[in-house]
Amino acid sequence: MNYNNLICRLCLFDASGNVSIFTNYDADRNGYLAHKIMQIANVQVYEGDGLPSLICRGCLNRVEGYFQFKIQVEKSDYFLRQQVCSYQAEPLPPAPVEKSS
């Protein structure tokens, strides 16, 4: 049975209002949905793999939200690691030396 135009590849519900995951719908922001899906879930998504090529609008919104959250987490992690590295790279001030009398 050919499911390509019947169900959403991600939630398996009706793909009405469907969007192809292989169309570069968003050229300004890493536009291929297939790439974004593989970035947020441990799945393989390839054109011509025999699986549905459409997703519903609800899943489109979820993919976009999860992908943006992933980017935010990665940026935060990078920032914090840079802060730790720069803090550790700074020389410590010399310890005060007590003078003996």
* Token reading at 91: 């020389």
Alpha-helical regions (H) of the chain? 33-40, 57-89
Largest CA distance in the chain: 94
What confidence tens digit (pLDDT) does each residue in 51-81 have? Answer: 999 999 999 999 999 999 999 999 999 999 8
Query: Which whole-number Å values give the CA distances from 52 to 9, 93, 96, in the listed order?
Result: 5, 62, 70
Residue 12 lies in a domain: no
* Token reading at 93: 């001030």
Residue 101 lies in a domain: no
* Token reading at 99: 């003078």
CATH assignment at residue 50: 3.40.1800
56 among the known binding-site residues?
yes
Domain, as residue range, for 58:
19-89
Domains identified in the chain, total number: 1
85 among the known binding-site residues?
no
Residue 1 lies in a domain: no
59 among the known binding-site residues?
yes
What confidence tens digit (pLDDT) does each residue in 1-18 have? Answer: 666 678 999 999 987 778
